[in-house]
Amino acid sequence: MDEPILKVKGLCTEFKTVDSRVRAVDGVDLELYPGETLGIVGESGCGKSVTALSIMQLLPKGVGQVVGGEILFDGKDMLKLSQKELLSLHGRDMAMIFQEPMTSLNPVYTIGYQLSEVLRYHMGMNKKDAWQKSIDLLKDVGVSRPEQIVRSYPHELSGGMLQRVMIAMGLSCNPKLLIADEPTTALDVTIQAQILELMGKLKEEYNTAILMITHNMGVVAEVCDRVIVMYAGYVVEMAEVNELFDHPSHPYTQGLLKCIPNINEDREVLDTIEGTVPPPYAMPKGCRFAPRCPYATPECEASKPELYDIGGGHTCRCFRYKEGNPNA
Amino acid sequence: MPEEKEVLLKVDHLKTYFPIRKGFFNKVVGHVKAVDDVSFFVNRCETLGVVGESGCGKSTMGRSVLRLVEPTEGSVVFDGVDVCKLKPEEMRKFRSRMQIVFQDPLSSLDPRYTIDRTLAEPLKQHTNMTDAEIKEKVLELMEKVGLPAFHATKFPHEFSGGQRQRIGIARAISLNPEFIVCDEPVSALDVSIQSQVLNLLRELQRELKLSYLFISHDLSVVKYISDRVAVMYLGHIVEMAESEELFAHKLHPYTQALTSAIPIPNPHLTKQRIVLQGDVPNPANPPKGCPFHERCSQCKAICREERPEFKEVSPGHYVSCHLYN
């Protein structure tokens, strides 16, 4: 097997608030191999985006801080890099696509200017070549009339179109790692289908490792090879995508899969997960899912479970799997 | 056979246009045809789901029905009364019978009002209840939507998204309405909370005999909650049928593309996906003929010229497409 391009161990990220510190990510481990798509799913506030920002070292200065663990990207320790070294990594070796393309592009520059800026900075291209390459990139991501689009400003384009521009920008220097933070959440389903298809195609073409952050289980099933499920700041389950959907093991994953209305099924009443996610300042002492878990025991409330290996690269943070798989 | 259904709301040829103004004299230079000639009905105790992508006019349609946005043309008949012809004071009283739940629960609740005050407001406006009765009713409402009574004196910012949406629902049902427009009530919520709210809406419907106009962009949610479904595209309803019928026999090419575009949470499924090319056209400058023809894979010559009629092709199944004429 290849060396993982990205290796995260025991990542902890904290945010300063007025009177305390809140731990948004608490001990996340993950490995990502070249050409692989790893999905991180979870509900809002589970720490999936903060994980991505920590990896990119894009946490808001003075507010968010990585307080523990290590992030190895391509053999380099991200936490020890200087600002200058980071600048040369961002956009070239690791790129990120954000949820809202409208707010991630600069409204006062043309699309062509913003695309060629990356190329000129990282690849040392001259203005003319970079402009031409921008047009080619837009063609690659399926933008029609790219010669015209490079001259337009972000407000003149639709959301789907802008997200294509973002993807083109992300892939412009052929990065080893692409982090996509909810790339299709702000888009309509027909446009989402276009973008997902495009990402799949580009992955094969460029052999880029993708870290796909989403809350949509349908998107996960469609594009990911492996999946990490996060809940309240930590990983609760990790498995191959088929394994996860066939044998969801953590009670949270099981609940999550059951409460999505499925277009191919008819159901009278939807299953629900009772209660809400605990706020980060009042995390339960034991298992964080215990207050909402149908299987909770006194042990779950008292101590925190580990990630237990249940075979075939499938791990699950639940005491029920301490001595192997009870369902196996 | 089920008993004959009573039509509660009947909308005929509803049009809502927004003028585009330009220049020093604010001259009207065109119109955004947000809702362009839609007709539908909602039976009593029934849910009509409306799906469509952003900008297709589904929210404007919901608001036009309640006259929160004044319709340009057409009629909205609610239980025999033409809502569009009511005078402002009559309309104000009439609103107790038709309510709305908004998408974003935080911006639709007054941040300076405690929850009990928010919930008491409609009761004060529309009924002659005494303060004590109102207080009792507020607690009853909160219980109905599953909010413990100790929350009554809290402010909206102290609640989670799901709880806020419950407050929005409690406010909507406070005057015992017959009809509620649910405008994307679960889009802002996480899936585990979404299913709680959907179940609540269903329970309340059974208990209070409510009719819903349920607007959403999520087809799976609409399928789950609706008895009948209307699919909108660029201000038009392109297809409308009983929920089961619609999903079993999708006739309009847009409905087919829309359903095939949904990512299904099952990695083993390899399906034939119809990926639509291009974007939704600009509603200020809609294409001639069928509004969908530019993206349609089965476009014929007539589609570019003539707008298809909204016709009943089988009992209760309406579609607006030249393929079925």
Q: Is B110 helix (H, G, I), strand (E, B) or coil?
A: coil
CB contact under 8 A, A269 and B196: no
Q: Give the best residue of B250, B262, B280, B295 to mutate against chain A (max A CB count within 10 A).
A: B262
Q: Is the pLDDT of residue B1 over 60?
A: no
CB contact under 8 A, B266 and A190: no
Quote the tokens at residue B301: 């010559």
CB contact under 8 A, B220 and A260: yes
Instruction: Confirm if A81 and A89 have CB atoms less than 8 A apart.
Output: yes
Predicted pLDDT of residue A188: 83
Predicted pLDDT of residue B161: 86
For A60-105, write each residue's pLDDT tens digit.
888 899 999 999 998 889 999 999 999 999 989 999 998 888 888 9
Q: Count of H helices and E strands in chain A?
A: 12, 12
Instruction: Confirm if A163 and A97 have CB atoms less than 8 A apart.
Output: yes
Phi/psi for A152 (5° steps) reads: -95, 165
CB contact under 8 A, B268 and A217: no
Report CA Rg, chain A: 21
Predicted pLDDT of residue A158: 83
For A26-71, write each residue's pLDDT tens digit.
999 999 999 899 999 998 888 999 999 999 999 988 889 999 999 9
Residue of B nearest to A227 (CA): B267
CB contact under 8 A, A215 and B191: yes
Instruction: Confirm if A47 and A230 have CB atoms less than 8 A apart.
Output: yes
Single-letter code of the amino acid located at B239: E
Distance CA B125, CA B62 (A): 23
Q: How far away is chain A from the Cα of B262, in angstroms, using its nearest Cα?
A: 6
Q: Give the best residue of B195, B200, B226, B258 to mutate against chain A (max A CB count within 10 A).
A: B195
Higher-pLDDT residue of B276 and B303 is B303
Helical segments of B151-299, H only: 161-173, 191-208, 219-225, 243-248, 253-261
Tell which A residues from 142 to 181 touch B, by Cβ distance under 8 Å: 144, 158, 160-161
Determine the average pLDDT of the residues in A221-240: 93
CB atoms within 10 A of CB B212: 24
Predicted pLDDT of residue A279: 81
Predicted pLDDT of residue B271: 67
Predicted pLDDT of residue A126: 93
Quote the tokens at residue A274: 């009772």
Q: Is the pLDDT of residue B3 over 70?
A: no
Determine the average pLDDT of the residues in A200-227: 90
Predicted pLDDT of residue A260: 85
Q: What angle do CA B181, B186, B191 make, to 5 degrees?
A: 160
Longest CA–CA span in chain A (Å) reads: 68
CB contact under 8 A, B263 and A222: yes
Q: How far away is chain B from the Cα of A193, in angstroms, using its nearest Cα?
A: 5
The full DSSP string for B165-188 is: HHHHHHHHHTT--SEEEEESTTTT
Q: Is the pLDDT of residue A328 over 60?
A: no
ipTM above 0.85, yes or no: no
Q: Is the pLDDT of residue A324 over 70?
A: no
Predicted pLDDT of residue A38: 95
Q: In which band, very low, low, confident or very high, does the pLDDT at A3 lie, cut at 50, 70 and 90?
A: confident
In sequence order, what are the residues at sequence separation of 6 or more whose Cβ sits closer than 8 angstroms to the Cβ of residue A102?
A154, A159, A162, A186
CA neighbor of B198 nearest in space, from B171, B177, B218, B228: B218
CB contact under 8 A, A271 and B195: yes
Secondary structure of chain A: what % helix, strand, coil (to 5)?
A: 40, 20, 40
Single-letter code of the amino acid located at A90: H
A-chain CB neighbours of B263 within 8 Å are: 192-193, 196, 216, 218-219, 221-222
Quote the tokens at residue B277: 């090319």
CB contact under 8 A, B192 and A272: yes
Q: In which band, very low, low, confident or very high, does the pLDDT at B230 lie, cut at 50, 70 and 90?
A: very high
Q: In which band, very low, low, confident or very high, does the pLDDT at A144 lie, cut at 50, 70 and 90?
A: confident
For A118-142, write each residue's pLDDT tens digit.
999 999 999 999 999 999 999 888 8
Determine the average pLDDT of the residues in A180-206: 85
Predicted pLDDT of residue A327: 62
Q: Is the pLDDT of residue A184 over 90?
A: no
Distance CA A128, CA B293 (A): 38
